[in-house]
Amino acid sequence: MASSYSFDVVCQVDLQEVTNAVDQAKREITTRYDFRGSTAEIDLDKEEPSLQLTAEDEYKLQAVTDILLTKMLKRNVPVKSLVYGKTEPTGKVLKKKISIQQGLSKEQCKSINQQIKNLKVKVQPQVNGDLVRVTGKSKDDLQVVIQGLKDADFDFDMQFINYR
């Protein structure tokens, strides 16, 4: 038996599922009557990763966003991992950039560490780049930490991986 157990807290989004959700949203936009003859687009940049939404007015931009979020929820893509940018008018169209968060920032790691310390469980959180590794002597303690982090209301998404 192992003398200590661990798991990692990460923020990862499956970009293939995002691609599938974007494709489904594009198909729905092309078939909807209220988008006939108008400019409404969704572009996915896998390198950054981010989404660029384009529409003629605020109503259509919000409708495109709603369609995209609906498709993402159906494909189990965590929408808390989306970081919305400002709406920018460019010429006759409005553009909105949505970044897809991959990895945890330093502030998010600090808030996770603080939440773990507030639970008063005998575990050791450690920041490793863009993830937090939690180690402890008891699997039960790790389960308490996982449940405590799930119950906490963070403004970002997180997953628990490498539980051993």
pLDDT digits (tens, 9 = 90+) for 112-149: 999 999 999 999 999 988 889 999 998 899 999 999 99
pLDDT value for 91:
85
**Residues 70-84: tens digit of each pLDDT:** 999 999 999 999 999
Exposure string (b/e) for 119-139, b if CB count within 10 Å is 16 or more? eebebebebeebbbebebeee
Taking the model in full, what pTM does it have?
A: 0.84
What is the C-alpha separation between 11 and 104, in angstroms, rounded?
6
CATH number for position 126: 3.30.70.860
**Tokens standing for 39?**
């400019």
Question: With bands split at pLDDT 50, 70 and 90, how would you rate the model's confidence at 37?
Answer: confident
82 and 153 both lie in a single domain = no
Whether residue 90 is predicted with pLDDT greater than 90 in this model: the reply is no
19 and 68 both lie in a single domain = yes
**How many domains does the chain divide into?**
2
Whether residue 1 is predicted with pLDDT greater than 70 in this model: the reply is no
19 and 75 both lie in a single domain = yes
Question: With bands split at pLDDT 50, 70 and 90, how would you rate the model's confidence at 85?
Answer: very high
pLDDT value for 164:
83
- Which structural domain, as residue segments, surrounds residue 117? 5-12+103-161
pLDDT, mean over the chain = 91
What is the C-alpha separation between 161 and 152, in angstroms, rounded?
18
Whether residue 44 is predicted with pLDDT greater than 80 in this model: the reply is yes
What is the C-alpha separation between 113 and 109, in angstroms, rounded?
6
Mean pLDDT value of segment 156-163: 88
Q: Which residue has the tokens 């008018």?
A: 89
Element of type H or E holding 124 = strand 123-128
19 and 77 both lie in a single domain = yes
What is the C-alpha separation between 61 and 46, in angstroms, rounded?
21
What is the C-alpha separation between 98 and 82, in angstroms, rounded?
6
Helix segments in the chain, DSSP class H: 15-31, 58-74, 106-118, 139-151
Phi then psi for 112, rounded to 5 degrees? -65, -45
pLDDT value for 129:
86
Question: With bands split at pLDDT 50, 70 and 90, how would you rate the model's confidence at 2?
Answer: low
CATH number for position 73: 3.30.70.990
